[in-house]
Amino acid sequence: MEYTEAKIQKHIFCEFSASSLIVPNCYFRSSRYEMDVFRVTPAGLSYEYEIKLTTADFNNELKHKKMKHRYMDVAPYMSPNYYSFVCPEDVIKIEDIWDDRYGLYVMNGYYLRCIRKPKKLHDTRIEQKYYWKLAKKLMFKYFNHADKFCVRSPE
């Protein structure tokens, strides 16, 4: 099966949207790194899902995002409570993930299968004010997407 980032995002949405707020492709708080999928539970716990479609893309992760992974330990206000990689089967081996706290999910046909659940990186929960910011991000994504398909009358 051919996977794209959007297809995998949709699978994550289907898996977790009943119990969480799911935001695709967003920058959050002070982070300068885009999150492929950001998930927040009603309790304020946050999850980041980093989608990797190829082994080469995964291998470049640590080279190009070294600071991002350093934030996981020193700046909890900028990083999620949980972090996982998501990929098609056979792209990432569990032993290749350098941090044993990171989770791994693989696409198995039409299902998202957990290979390893992520461990909690820190206890800092999302404050109420950030829910408003996430809602605004979703609103702009929705209306920017809808604009692509709107039929406009000539002015």
Confidence of residue 146 (pLDDT cuts 50, 70, 90): low
Report CA-CA distances (Å) from 7 to 14, 24, 36, 112, 151: 11, 11, 12, 11, 26
**How do residues 48-74 score in pLDDT, each as one tens digit?**
999 999 999 999 887 777 777 777 766
CB environment 4-28: b (16+ within 10 A), e (fewer)? eeeebbebbeebbeeebbbbbebeb
Fold of 5-147: Trna Endonuclease; Chain: A, domain 1 (3.40.1350)
